Amino acid sequence: MTHNSLASSPKYSGVKKRTFDRLINTALNALEQGCELTITELADKSGISRATAYRYFPTQSDLIAAVVESALEPIFNWQSDNQDPDQQLLDFLAFAFPQMLKHEGALRAALRISLQQWAAERTTLSQQSDKLVRGNRKEILSTILKPLKSQMPEQIYNNVLHAISVIYGSEIFLVLKDIWKLDNQQVVSLSQWMAKAVINQAKQDALKIQ
C-alpha cells in the first residue's frame, strides 16, 4: 500500500527545485528550533530575494503547508505488505509517529495557524486570508482502513475512521506530551493501544448487529 498521490506541492526541477528545497529546509530548521519565520525573514535567512520567496509561498499558510508536506513525505510514501488490516494500522502508527515527532515543530506551527484561522473566521476579516488546509489525514486513514469497510456496517466503519483520526495527528502531542509529560515512545505505544481498543470495540459492535 502506498500514499504517493497525497503529495500536492508543485514539483520543480533544476534551479527552481534547489531554490524551493533551500527555502523549505531553512523554514524547517527554524521551526524545529521553535522559531516561525515570516516569508520576508525566510528569504533573508535563506539568502534568496524576497520577491522570489513570495513567488513560491504567497502566504504563511502556503509555506507551512509545504514544510509539513515535505517533512511528512515518508509517511505519504509508506508501504506495507501485511495483509492483516489491524496489524497494518499498528505498523503504520509505529512508523508515522516517530516521523511526526522528528518534525514536531513544523506540525505544531501548522496547528497554531489552524487555531489562529479558527479565531479569524469569527471576525469580519476572515474572508481576506487563505486558509491552511489540513486534509492529508483523511486520505491516509481512509486508505489504510479500507479493508475494514467490508467487515462492518458503514456507520461503525465511519466511527472507526473518525476515532482513529483523533489518535493519528499532532493534536495528541498537546495532551500526552504537554499535559501528561509522556515521552515519545510512550506516545507511540499509547496510540497503538488506543487504536487496538477502537478496532476491537468496532468488531464487537458489528457482531451484535449480525
For the segment 55-79, the average pLDDT, to the nearest whole number, is 92
Contacts of 91 (CB under 8 A, 6+ apart): 80, 82
Domain count of the chain? 1
Q: For residue 1, is pLDDT > 50?
A: no
* 199 part of a folded domain: yes
Which amino acid type is present at position 10?
A: P
Residues 6+ apart with CB under 8 A from 151: 203, 206
Is 28 part of a structural domain of the chain? Answer: no
pLDDT on residue 133: 56
Mean pLDDT rounded to a whole number for the chain: 89
Residue 72 inside a domain? The answer is no
Are the CB atoms for 104 and 173 separated by under 8 Å?
yes
pLDDT above 60: residue 181: yes
In degrees to the nearest 10, what's the CA dihedral of 145, 110, 190, 197? Answer: -30
For residue 51, tell me if it sits in a domain: no
pLDDT > 90: percent of the chain? 72
Lowest-pLDDT range of 13-22, 78-87, 88-97: 78-87
pTM: 0.85
Range of the domain at 163: 82-103+129-209
**What pLDDT is recorded for position 170?**
93
Q: Is the pLDDT of residue 173 over 80?
A: yes
- Domain for residue 38, yes or no? no
Instruction: Write down the pLDDT at residue 154.
Output: 97
- Pick the residue with more confidence: 120 or 100? 100
Is residue 122 scored above 90 in pLDDT?
no
Task: Flag whether 173 is in a domain.
Answer: yes
User: CA-CA distances (angstroms) from residue 168 to 37, 64, 89, 90, 98?
Assistant: 27, 19, 10, 11, 12
Within a domain: 112: no
pLDDT of residue 135: 56
Which residues have a Cβ under 8 Å from the Cβ of 104 and sit 6 or more positions away? 32, 170, 173
